[in-house]
Amino acid sequence: MALFSNDEINNIRANADIVNVISSYIPLTQKGRNYLGVCPFHEDHSPSMSVSSDKQIYKCFACGAAGNVFTFVQDYENVSFAEAVSIVAAKCGMEVSFDPTKNVAVDNYAKEHKIMELSQKFFANNLKTSFGKEAVKYLNERGLSEDIIKEFGIGLSLDTNDSLLQLLTKKGYKTDELEEIGIVNNSNGTYYDMFTKRITFPLWDKDGNIIGFSARVYRGEKNVSKYMNSRENKIFHKGDTLYNYHNAKDIAKREKEIIVVEGFMDAIRMSSVGIKNVVALCGTAMTKDQISLLKKLRCKVILCLDNDNAGLIATVSNGDELVKENVETYVVRLTGEKDPDEYILANGAEAFIENIKKPLTYFDFKMDYFKHNRDLNKVEDLSQYVNDVLKTLSTVDDSILREVTLNKISKEYNLSLDVLKNRLEKFEPVVIREKEEKKEVVKTKKDSYMIGSERILYYMMNDEKYIDEYQTKLGFFNDPMYREIANEIVYYYETNKEITVADFITYVSSKDSIKGKVMEIVNESINDDLTMEAMDEYIDAVLKVSHKNEIKRLKELMKKELDQDKKMKIALQIMELKKEDV
């Protein structure tokens, strides 16, 4: 959080009542001193989220979510921390001093992102020079206007093989840094540009940072691959990237719909005709990370992959995965042209939009798909078809759809409804059990040392007097994670001269190493009033375990010690520790 001050954020937090803010998203009912609601962060119907008005925090007993008003808004709206702060500020009539659309939080890869940005600007500028005439002509012929070229940061890498290298090294970047993020290559100590003679398309991460390029030839060259992509590196991971996500996410949330295509050219083409809620997989198989990005949008997903066999198979495998994750999934299969890009070029935007407006539910698509390559006049094919349909139907949690489908098949193929129902039941139990199990969060069993340590840390987050008590009576955790959190709490208090759990959550939200653990501690903390007696009991419990470990260590040491005097000293130490436990 380097660019905005803790004071400003804590002030906003103090002015925003968490109960008001959360109840603007989900209904809350008061129960004693707390408020209860259905948690939006996991699939549920019963109220498992508790919001504390006193402490200004929330926690979910089912999925482990926890945090303060900012983390709630951040996760609910799927925005950056800075954006969440400005949304909360706006809700209570305040303004923020920073630009929340900029990446205000600490960017761990600021330098790498800067290099990518400079490279993109260089490429984009090349198009405007005399070297770029042919490339611009090519782009225009493919129907890409100046606006679209600008919107998608399209550029050109030159024919010379070190022009970008020259530029970046002049700006002080080292060749090995450039090589590491795949902007230059190295052959026996000679460095040269990774991309030459190609039209370049920047690739972004979910937040809109440029992380790599895809580049294609444009002069009809033979014997080279049409596309060349950045190799994976510390900022570019293909599997967690969805092309155009940063542009599409807000629009998709508003329109409650996101269209998923295969190639980035499809996304650019669709955008150029005004369909902006589109992302591209840049491949066919969807990864878990990509699915979780889509899930965050909380909208329906329309799969519109290529019109070939690979695209069909990918539609099934990706669709199955999405449905498993409870994403409302639809399918559009184009006919005639290969992909959305070519379809729009050949048939125009109107025709394409007609398709998108009438997507099949994933279930209906699947029913059609099962007919693929089968002759339903043949008994064997029909039997396999019915089996596939029933298997899929057993995973559907919709009794009306089941009834309708069974009736339809029964009539269409002249099969007994009872037989179909019996068969369906055979598939059922397994799937439904799987679904329920998913809700449970695996919690590790904690011993008294862990419980004690975590309670102590929770107490410390709440009040300086517990920090004092910790420093006087314990002062140190053997466990490095607990130690780091304790040190952060002490540091936070020393800098801010006051501490609340809600403000401390803000502070750790940019500290990835301890954030998860702190949220877990907050989530599992008790709701009761905190007392010094309880704090002291936890300290005793932790000391006992620590003493036990220390005694064990000293005993080992004593065994190895040959010097009698030293042996005696260790024995005394052990006795001392044992005495403290009584």
Least Å distance, CB 228 to Zn ion, is 44
Residue 51 touching Zn ion (CB under 5 A)? no
Among 36, 39, 211, 406, binds Zn ion (CB under 5 A): 39
Residue 474 touching Zn ion (CB under 5 A)? no
Q: Where would I find the beta strands (DSSP E) of 304-343?
A: 329-331
Residue 203 touching Zn ion (CB under 5 A)? no
**Amino acid symbol at 301:** V
Least Å distance, CB 198 to Zn ion, is 47
Question: Which one of 54-62, 117-125, 187-195, 562-570 is the stretch in contact with Zn ion (CB under 5 A)?
Answer: 54-62
* Residue 111 neighbours by CB under 8 Å, 6+ apart: 177
Q: Which is nearer to Zn ion, 39 or 178 (CB)?
A: 39
Residue 296 touching Zn ion (CB under 5 A)? no
Least Å distance, CB 43 to Zn ion, is 9
Residue 295 touching Zn ion (CB under 5 A)? no
Residue 66 touching Zn ion (CB under 5 A)? no
Q: Which is nearer to Zn ion, 43 or 397 (CB)?
A: 43
Residue 126 and residue 199: Cα distance in Å, rounded? 10
Least Å distance, CB 372 to Zn ion, is 39
The radius of gyration computed from the CA coordinates of the chain, to the nearest angstrom, equals 30
Least Å distance, CB 458 to Zn ion, is 19
Least Å distance, CB 517 to Zn ion, is 18
Question: Which one of 64-72, 90-98, 349-357, 370-378 is the stretch in contact with Zn ion (CB under 5 A)?
Answer: 64-72
Let me know if 388 is exposed, middle or buried by CB neighbors in 10 A (0-12, 13-18, 19+): middle
How far are the Cα atoms of 28, 187, 333, 431 from residue 319, in angstroms, in the given order?
A: 34, 43, 13, 17
Question: Which one of 33-41, 145-153, 206-214, 329-337 is the stretch in contact with Zn ion (CB under 5 A)?
Answer: 33-41
Question: Which one of 60-68, 287-295, 341-349, 425-433 is the stretch in contact with Zn ion (CB under 5 A)?
Answer: 60-68
Question: Which one of 38-46, 219-227, 278-286, 571-579 is the stretch in contact with Zn ion (CB under 5 A)?
Answer: 38-46
Least Å distance, CB 18 to Zn ion, is 16
- β-strand 257-261 against 278-280: which pairing, if any? parallel
Residue 61 touching Zn ion (CB under 5 A)? no
Least Å distance, CB 64 to Zn ion, is 7
By C-alpha distance, which of 208, 204, 301 is closest to 260? 301
> What residues are paired with 485 via a beta bridge?
none
Residue 22 touching Zn ion (CB under 5 A)? no
Residue 41 touching Zn ion (CB under 5 A)? yes
Residue 65 touching Zn ion (CB under 5 A)? yes
Q: Which is nearer to Zn ion, 48 or 119 (CB)?
A: 48
Residue 388 and residue 427: Cα distance in Å, rounded? 11
243: DSSP letter = B
Q: Which is nearer to Zn ion, 65 or 344 (CB)?
A: 65
Residue 402 touching Zn ion (CB under 5 A)? no
Let me know if 428 is exposed, middle or buried by CB neighbors in 10 A (0-12, 13-18, 19+): middle
Least Å distance, CB 48 to Zn ion, is 6
Residue 319 and residue 365: Cα distance in Å, rounded? 10
Among 19, 22, 51, 60, binds Zn ion (CB under 5 A): 60
Question: Which one of 63-71, 166-174, 368-376, 443-451 is the stretch in contact with Zn ion (CB under 5 A)?
Answer: 63-71
Residue 431 and residue 438: Cα distance in Å, rounded? 11
Residue 522 touching Zn ion (CB under 5 A)? no
Number of residues that bind Zn ion (CB under 5 A): 7
Contact 261, 304 (CB under 8 A): yes
Question: Which one of 35-43, 134-142, 219-227, 443-451 is the stretch in contact with Zn ion (CB under 5 A)?
Answer: 35-43
Least Å distance, CB 69 to Zn ion, is 17
Residue 14 and residue 517: Cα distance in Å, rounded? 24
Q: Where are the alpha helices (DSSP H) in 358-414?
A: 362-371, 379-393, 399-413
Residue 63 touching Zn ion (CB under 5 A)? yes
Residue 362 and residue 323: Cα distance in Å, rounded? 8
For residue 69, the tally of other CB atoms under 10 A from its CB is 29
Residue 313 and residue 338: Cα distance in Å, rounded? 15
Contact 195, 157 (CB under 8 A): yes
**Contacting positions for Zn ion (CB under 5 A):** 39, 41-42, 60, 62-63, 65
